[in-house]
Structures are given as structure tokens and as C-alpha cells.
Amino acid sequence: MNSLPLEGRSILFVGGKGGVGKSTTAAALALHLAESGEQILLVSTDPAHSLGDLFDTSVGDQKREIIPGLHALEIDPEQEIQRYLARVKSTMRHYVQPAMYSEIERQIELTRHSPGAEEAALMDRVTSLMEEGPTSHDRIIFDTAPTGHTLRLLALPEIMAAWTTGLLRSRERSASLGKAVDRLRGREEARGDELAWFDDVKEPATDERTQKIQEVLLERQQRFSRARRLLLDPKMTAFILVLIPEKLPILESEKMFKVLKRHKVPVAGVVVNRILPKNQTLGEFLESRRSQEAEYLERVEKAFAKLPRVQIPLLSHDVEGIDALREVAQHLEIDR
Ligand SMILES: Nc1ncnc2c1ncn2[C@@H]1O[C@H](COP(=O)(O)OP(=O)(O)O)[C@@H](O)[C@H]1O
Ligand SMILES: [Mg+2]
């Protein structure tokens, strides 16, 4: 068939609908590249982690060596939020007077479960890894969450810009923090507008404090822009779409492909997983499935005509452990 063009591309994203074989593909690819002599960092950003099961070992939030040449880690959203909020708190200390610390920290704690907190925290880690990964490893491979949300967010400059002001700028949070600050400062009337909070807290800041916070925000913004540049650079990055020859996964992948294309994320190819094995008699039941599969494969050919496509057969067993991953990897044609 075809092969995935991965030469020189040191940041790989593997994405697709839930359950189609993203983790399997990412792990098989990582194993294959590591066994070919490369230094690989495999990172799971999907909260439904399975790298540990795949490699039959424990994989945690910090990178550890799984086999020679292959390091892995699973990002833990809870811990990430913890770290993220700790950073926000320490940043806040540059803004506000010591008397307000405890109230502000309490308010920041309340943002922990707000929508977007997890994503912001996750993106902080992903952007850091995108930069660090290729310096200490030949490649970094991200096993992404089903929706490809992460990536879409990363591709959107507006959202990235919003993140530079972090969690604190969203309407509810700034309103409640603003009120808290107002209360603490004995104001009679709390200001209602969205950005009031920043105005309020900037007042007591010395020039030095203001400068410090600007540096922090600028650093973050620059890191996001650098990550975005990396993401959109086809010499650096390749997105690999995984699907199975069934209706919904194909539809979802078509949608994802469109979004990725629209945002100019370089898509390197499609992995069509769990194809009914050829050269085997399957019995009447599976033969009829095979004819349905043929139709879906045709649809895949059409929808992704411009992309390289590789196929992985359905194995007679789940993919667990190094040997099974090697078996999968055999089918992953790549140019590296
Ligand atoms: N080619 C295959 N043959 C047999 N089982 C497979 C194959 N690919 C994946 N699986 C199994 O399907 C399940 C889902 O795969 P997984 O890689 O975890 O999907 P995802 O990461 O996309 O949610 C796992 O139990 C895995 O072992
Ligand atoms: Mg998975």
C-alpha cells in the first residue's frame, strides 16, 4: 500500500475516535522506532490511560524508561491542575498585597473544577513537552485524547492568547475574584466588568511587580506561540489519524481531518486498524462482515485519497505486551 512519511519529523500526534487503536498505534510506533535505535518519548494525554497495560508495566506522570531507548509518561490531569494552580498562586503573589493572599488563594482553589481548567493545565504541560521532547529525544509521540480537542485548541491562536492570562480572566472567576478583592479593600461597590479584577489588583502593584507579572504572562504567550509554530511546521510535526473501517469512526475522522486541514496542521497519513485478515477463511458470518468492510474501505480510500494509508489487520487477541506490539508494528510501513 503506502507508507507514512515521518522522516525528520520529531513531534508525532496520534489521534482518532475512542477505541480505534490510538494507544496501540502510538505504542507500536514508539516501540518500532526505539528498536530501530532512536530515543523516543511516548506521552499519553488521554485521561483514559492505557500505556501501562500495553507495556505491561507501570507508567506514571514522570517519564521513565520502558525499554532501552523508549521513555513514557502519562499526563495526570489532576496533578497537572495542582501544579498549574500552584503556579497561578505564586504568580498572584506578585500582584496583590500579602493581606489578601489567603482569600485570593481560596478563590483560586475554587477554579479547580471550572470548565477549561483541565485543558489549560494540560496544554501547559503539552507545550513544555513539545519543546523539551525533541531536545532530549529523537522524537516525541503523543497518544492524544479521542476528540483531538487538545490539538484543535493548540491550533487556535485566539484561544492561545486567552490562555496567556490564564484561568483568571474568565467571566465568573474574574468577577468573583474582583469582588473578593473589592471586599478585602473595603470598597463600597464591586465593579461588574470582566477585566475589573486585573485593574483592581494592578493598583497596589509596584512597578517591579507589574513588570514581573508581565514577564510571566509574556513567557507563557511566547511558549504557546512557539508550540504553535512547531505544530504547524510539516518538517517538525506529523499528525497520524487512526480509524477502523466502520461508519462512525470514519465520519469522525473525516471531520477531524477537515478541522486539522483548516488549521493547517500537517497530517502525515491514516492508519486503518482492525482490518479482517486476508487469506483466511472466516466463515459465513465474518465473510458478510468482510463485504461490508470492503465498502467502508472504499469510502476511506476516497475520503483520504490524498493521504498515505497503512493497514493493520485485526489480531486474534488484544494487543498487550511487547510481542503483540511488535506484531502490530510489522504492519506500520513508515519512512523514517
Ligand atoms: N489490530 C488489532 N487487533 C486486535 N485488537 C486490537 C487491535 N488494535 C487495537 N486492539 C484492541 O482494541 C482495544 C482499543 O485499542 P486502543 O489502542 O486502546 O484504542 P484507543 O487508544 O484509540 O482508545 C484494545 O483492547 C486493543 O488491544
Ligand atoms: Mg488510548
Predicted confidence (pLDDT) per residue in 152-177, tens digit:
556 655 555 555 555 444 434 445 55
Q: Is the CB of 318 under 6 A from ligand 1?
A: yes
| Per-residue pLDDT at 179 | 54
CA angle 64–12–224, rounded 5-degree value: 90
Are 104 and 96 in contact by the 8 Å Cβ rule? The answer is yes
Beta strands 139-143 and 70-74, pairing class: unpaired
- Which residue's alpha carbon is nearest to atom 25 within ligand 1? 318
Closest CA to 13 of 157, 162, 147, 163: 147
**SS percent in the chain: helix, strand, coil, step 5:** 55, 15, 30
Question: What confidence tens digit (pLDDT) does each residue in 253-295 have?
Answer: 999 899 889 888 999 999 999 999 887 777 888 888 899 999 9
Which residue ranges of the chain lie beneath pLDDT 50? 167-174, 181, 183-205
Predicted confidence at residue 83, as pLDDT, reads 85
Q: Which ligand is nearest to the CA of 272?
A: 1
DSSP for 163-189, written as a single string = HHTGGGGSHHHHHHHHHHHHHHTT-SS
Share of the chain above pLDDT 70, in %: 78
Give the ligand at the shortest distance from the Cα of 22.
1
* 221-231 confidence digits (pLDDT tens): 788 888 888 99
User: Residue 177's pLDDT is what?
Assistant: 53
- Domains of the chain in start order, with CATH, are 4-335 (3.40.50.300)
Ligand 1: does its nearest atom lie under 6 Å from the Cβ of 276? no
Is beta strand 64-67 parallel, antiparallel or unpaired with respect to 70-74? Answer: antiparallel
Question: How far away, in angstroms, is 309 Cα from ligand 2 center?
Answer: 20
Radius of gyration of the chain (CA): 23
Q: If you measure from the C-alpha of residue 61 to the centroid of ligand 1, how many angstroms do you get, rounded to a whole number?
A: 22
